[in-house]
Amino acid sequence: MGKRVWNLNPGPAVLPEAVLEEASKAVLEYEGKGMSLMEMSHRAKEVDKIFKDTEADLKEIMGLGDDYSVVFMGGGASLQFTMIPMNFLHDDQTADYVNTGSWSQNAIKEAKLLGKVNVAASSEEREFTYIPKIFDLSPDPAYLHITTNNTIRGTQYHFDPDVKVPLIADMSSDILSMRRDFKKYSLIYAGAQKNLGPAGVTVIIIKKDMLERVKPGIPTLLSFKTQVEKESLFNTPPVFPTYVVGLVAKWIKSQGGLAAIEAGNRKKADLLYGCLDEYSDFYRAPVNKEDLSWMNVVFRLPSEDLEKKFLAEAGEKSLIGMKGHRSVGGVRASIYNAFPYAGVEELVSFMKAFAKKEAGIGV
């Protein structure tokens, strides 16, 4: 593999090099079968093994048992914004949502098309710079939906809500980045392209007792009952992206599981946020300290012109993908599981030199 840039893109994002190398072999030929994995039937026993092994590895990593199923679908997390209320929000019920930014807003918008929604908490009044800790739940809601990491605003749940209703989480941008009490969740979903694999597959982890709550009359493909009963094979699933998710799961296990991944992510985040603190007259992280994301480090410089210059010069140093989301601007460094510590060291070194050059800081 040739020289790689430091890929700080928010998604699709960096993958472990070992995973890329292994996946590249399967592009040409899979396990001596004389064909690419991308050419194989989704009914082949080899593909069935991929799906079963990936499910087993994910549940092992998350500490989940046979009372959970794992489903692999297309459509991204955005499809789940629709599927969840379509399946679980009955006509006489209310769905509760916590609004912490653009992606939770999108989930709320879709749910409102299908039933009654209560915003149980929101950080919008402070421009989504914190995670609410207190929820005003409806009486007997269908579920509570949260977004555990907010890629645009740079906030993250560092706790698992303790509620007595089905808890559903969009974990697209921080799944398997830290230890969580995954058993508190009735349904977890994640677009793979930030922390699990390539674009094209969404991983849904669902507690089997949730299937009893599925509304009748759901379109067949969009029913969680169908997806679980058919083991993701009702129609042709995203085989190759799921295979890569399986490779990532094996990579996580080889690193020492979630305890080791969490330690590495904390170390990277501490280094980068430490730089922001040290140079706080030049760099500013507009996020409540206890809610800072370990995955997406969002910060501003004294002016937009300096931000443009920062991004241009970072690109010259092979530090790419740090332009903030178009809705908020600024700078965003995405340091997902597979982003190496050495890359954060390189970024911090550049940031210190840039601050010294542009503002005389540290001279």
pLDDT digits (tens, 9 = 90+) for 95-125: 999 999 999 999 999 999 999 999 999 999 9
What are the tens digits of pLDDT across the range 286-336?
Answer: 999 999 999 999 999 999 999 999 999 999 999 999 999 999 999 999 999
186-191: long-range contacts, CB 8 A cutoff, minimum separation 24? 186/143, 186/210, 187/84, 187/143, 189/77, 189/80, 189/84, 190/77, 191/11, 191/76, 191/77
User: Which domains are delineated in the chain?
Assistant: 18-255 (3.40.640.10), 257-359 (3.90.1150.10)
Per annotation, catalytic residue among 6, 103, 251, 294: 103
pLDDT tens, residue by residue, 10-25: 999 999 999 999 999 9
Quick: pLDDT tens for 155-195. 999 999 999 999 999 999 999 999 999 999 999 999 999 99
Residue 145 has pLDDT above 70, yes or no: yes
Q: pLDDT band at 359, cuts 50/70/90?
A: confident
194 within 8 A of 172, measured Cβ to Cβ: yes
The per-residue pLDDT for 190 is 98
> What is the number of other CB atoms lying within 10 angstroms of the CB of residue 139?
7
Beta bridge partners of 149: 156
pLDDT at 3: 84
Distances (CA, A) of 287 to 65, 228, 274, 299, 311: 36, 39, 14, 9, 21
pLDDT greater than 90 at residue 62: yes
What average pLDDT does the chain have? 97
Within 10 angstroms of residue 3's Cβ, the number of other Cβ atoms is 5
Whether 103 is catalytic: yes
Residue 2 has pLDDT above 90, yes or no: no
Residue 363 and residue 348: Cα distance in Å, rounded? 16
Average pLDDT over residues 130-151: 97
Q: How far apart are CA 301 and CA 194, in angstroms?
A: 25
Residue 362 clears pLDDT 60, i.e. is over it = no
For the stretch 22-55, pLDDT in tens is: 999 999 999 999 999 999 999 999 999 999 999 9
Q: What is the pLDDT of residue 361?
A: 62
Pairing mode of beta strands 319-320, 331-334: unpaired
- Helix spans in 153-303 (H): 224-229, 239-255, 257-278
Average pLDDT on 66-87 reads 98
Q: How far is the CA of 77 from the CAs of 18, 44, 51, 107, 171, in angstroms?
A: 26, 27, 19, 9, 9
State how far the Cα of 187 lies from the Cα of 210, in Å rounded to an integer.
8
Eight-class DSSP state of 110 = H
* Residue closest to 296 by CA, chosen among 322, 351, 334, 338: 334
Check 194, 250, 268, 323 and give the catalytic one: 194
Q: Reply yes or no on whether the pLDDT at 88 is more than 50.
A: yes
**Which one of 57, 96, 170, 174 is the catalytic residue?**
170
* Arithmetic mean of pLDDT, 138-151: 97
- All residues at 6 or more sequence positions from 122 whose CB lies less than 8 Å from its CB, including other chains: 98, 99, 100, 132
* pTM recorded for the entire structure: 0.96
Confidence category of residue 363, pLDDT binned at 50, 70, 90: very low
Q: Please determine, for residue 83, whether its predicted confidence score (pLDDT) is greater than 90.
A: yes
1 pLDDT band (50/70/90 cuts)?
A: low
Catalytic site includes residue 170: yes
To the query of whether residue 294 is one of the catalytic residues in this protein, the response is no
Query: What's the mean pLDDT in 122-145?
Result: 97
